[in-house]
Structure 1
Amino acid sequence: MTDPKPKIHKPKIPSWEKNLLRGMSIFLLISGIYILIFGGVNGTERIFGLLILIALVIIYTPSFFTRGRIRAIPVEIEILILLMVLFELVGGDALGLYVSIPHYDNFMHFMLPLYIALIGMMVVYTMYFYGRLKATIPAMAVLIVLVTIGFGGVLEMGEYTYDKYLSHTVIGQITGNTQMQGSPTQDPLDDTMNDLFTDTAGAVVGALIGVWLIRRAEKRGSHWEVADEIEELIEE
């Protein structure tokens, strides 16, 4: 006889999370409009303003048209995605921090996999908690780390393809002809390999944070409540 499916308890969103989301969303909306109109650090990065606005539309359209009855994604994942948009599209691309700050690329190749791995842990834990996945928590963490490293490898292939075949085309003109591989301190090969090592470190840290949050909830006799948000989204 299988265990009964756990009952979904809709978690209450803390006020600090609501305020953080509101502040980040307003800032990104203003930044996206400004960058779309005036460009970024060189005045040619308008495409990134458009991408910022598209990201906001994707995140908030379901909630807007259903008057909050349906959220596109759980609040924890929403915060992580907004942080990705902030650091990548606003900071790295529009403001040119990849070029102006020597190790910003390393920072991003650590933080983005960390966010992805943490989101991955939320998803697989939901599958585990609601009986869709049979695995130990350490095994789930290892799986997420490997998948995240795979994403990093795909990203590096994309950067290589852009630099070699697209950077000198119309697409390159739209994005400011920025070279993806290489940095002010590293040649392209060293940059790629360091990116992969840093991706791995970020993935490991993200997965470990997920394990820690799960264990902390279990010690309190509960569970990681983000699973309830994700499960509720699946059942809508």
Structure 2
Amino acid sequence: MSYFKPDENINPTERKLLIALRVFLLAAGIYITIFGGATGSERIFGVLILVALVIMHAPSFFTRNMIRAIPVEIELLLLAMVLFELVGGDAMGLYVRIPHYDNFMHFMLPLYVALIGMMAVYTLYFYGKLKASVRGMAILIVIVTIGFGAMLEMGEYTYDKYLSHTVIGEITGNTQMQGSPTQNAIDDTMNDLFTDTAGGIVGALLGVYFIRRAEKHGDHWHVADEIEEMGEPRKES
């Protein structure tokens, strides 16, 4: 296996999508790092794209695949987060160019986080490391996701208050994170939190759906097997 040739045993459609996202984000990261994004001054986001790709693939790369790669379902979600946030929202300036793009991202990012969270807690449940009902797992993940959204808002406030007019602000374009031409900072923050909550609920419900669908056929959500195997070294052939 390699960056451009994922495991051939995964679903063919997922494999093609995975290759497409890997290639596009690598090319986008290099291009944005060299030339910048929408205004030519967004090189920092190109660097962050490349850093994100390295973090996702460094363990399996440097151990020559002895450490298993993250499950394809999780990698697709992480790559989508990088695509919509760092490429679209930041480098291409879609937060400014497209109305309500901020609302879209405050819905999608918690959805991704909640869905990944459901995969993780279901794995613990399936392998007997956690005792909880599916409903209990979903509620737990929604609460955690709301906390994640609150942390994002605190980060935005900290950036606006203390960092936007420093060297860090110059690197990122001095954009104010809270408030907009149509909303003051408080309204913007509360709308973001409500949207975060909605995204977390939808992500948790999707997780419940996948669990119930597998159980309906007398099976289990197989992402649990992939997550459990991440901690097991590959056997040399």
Interval containing the TM-score (normalised by the shorter chain): over 0.9
CA distance in 2, matches of 1:182, 1:13: 43
**Structure 2: runs of 5 or more not aligned:** 1-7
Q: Report how many aligned residue pairs link the two structures.
A: 226
Note the residue ranges of structure 1 that are not aligned, 5 or more in a row: 1-10
Say if 2:70 and 2:230, in contact at 8 Å, map to a contact too: yes
Displacement of 1:69 after TM fit? Answer: 4.5
What is the percentage of aligned positions where both structures have the same residue?
Answer: 75
Tell me the amino acid that sits aligned with residue 54 of structure 2.
Answer: V
Partner of 1:4: none
RMSD: 1.3
User: 2:94 maps to what in 1?
Assistant: 97
Alignment of 1:174-193 (within 5 A): 174-193=171-190
Distance in 1 between residues matched to 2:188 and 2:65, nearest whole Å = 43
Q: Is the Cα–Cα contact under 8 Å of residues 99 and 183 in structure 1 kept in the other structure?
A: no
Alignment of 1:1-236 (within 5 A): 12-236=9-233
1:95 deviation in Å? 0.5
Structure 2 residue matching 1:235: 3-state secondary structure: coil
| 2:231 alignment partner, SS class | helix
SS of aligned partner of 2:131: coil
- Report the TM-score, using the length of structure 2 for normalisation: 0.92
Shift of 1:62: 2.5
Q: Whole-Å Cα distance in 2 between the matches of residues 34 and 235 of structure 1? A: 36
Q: Structure 1 pair 216/14, CA: closer, same or farther in 2 (3 Å)?
A: same
User: What is the distance in 2 between the residues matched to 1:205 and 1:26?
Assistant: 29
Structure 2 residue identity aligned to 1:185 = T
Q: Distance in 1 between matches of 2:123 and 2:172?
A: 38
Contact 1:99/1:184 (<8 A) preserved:
no
Q: Is the 8 A contact 1:34 1:49 kept in 2?
A: yes
Q: Is the 8 A contact 2:35 2:43 kept in 1?
A: yes
Of 154-163 and 56-65, more deviation after overlay is shown by: 56-65
